[in-house]
Amino acid sequence: MFFRALLDQPERLWRFLGLFQSPPLRLVHVLAASFVLLQLVSGVVMEIGSPVFWYHAWAGASLFLLALILSVYSLKARGPRHFYPYLWGDAAALKHDLRQAVHFKLPPPHPGGLEAVVQGAGLVLLALTAFLGLTWFALWQAGSAYAKTALPFHKTGGVLIFFYVVAHGGMATRRFIVWQRNSKAAGLKA
């Protein structure tokens, strides 16, 4: 029973993501998330010049393209104000959500809210970190002395992405669990 429920989780997750994303956006999101996790692991264990390094470099270039696709698709679907309301001087929804979060309540997702702003930060962080990796790689390939200066920026981006994965993934996992419980309680198929 437990193992069957565990095996059903990917299908349930796909349905859950469908509440917020179209099928193409879900696919790009799942691909990007998978690439990010693999990049975090490979980045920790690689040695420059090793097969893992070359995997990390090529997957990072692919992730940069996925990040651009994810960003363009997300911004086209929701608009920049959904993810970056503070750029328009509107932080009311974010402040409201932060007040709830301080009391360990997860506010529902909505434009300009905590989850939307976290997603917006992730879009920028992902593209920037991948770009910094590509920049370092190009400098390293060219034998530039600036490669040593560029690498720490890419590594810092990787550390920030780790924390982003914990925050964004944690919020999404909590919401997914609550959705499954509520669906079960309502007699719906989760």
Domain boundaries, the chain: 24-171
The answer to whether residues 123 and 74 touch, using CB atoms and an 8 Å cutoff, is yes
How many whole angstroms separate alpha carbon 87 and alpha carbon 91? Answer: 9
Per-residue tens of pLDDT for the chain, all 190 residues? 667 777 888 889 889 998 888 999 999 999 999 999 999 999 999 998 999 999 999 999 999 999 999 999 999 999 999 999 999 999 999 999 999 989 988 888 899 999 999 999 999 999 999 999 999 999 999 999 999 999 999 999 999 999 999 999 988 998 899 898 888 877 777 6
* Entry pTM: 0.87
**Residue 96 structure tokens:** 């409201």
How many whole angstroms separate alpha carbon 52 and alpha carbon 57? Answer: 9
In sequence order, which residues have a C-beta less than 8 Å from that of residue 98 and are 6 or more positions away? 114
How many whole angstroms separate alpha carbon 119 and alpha carbon 97? Answer: 14
Phi, psi of 15 (to 5 degrees): -65, -40
How many whole angstroms separate alpha carbon 160 and alpha carbon 115? Answer: 17
Fold of 24-171: Fumarate Reductase Cytochrome B subunit (1.20.950)
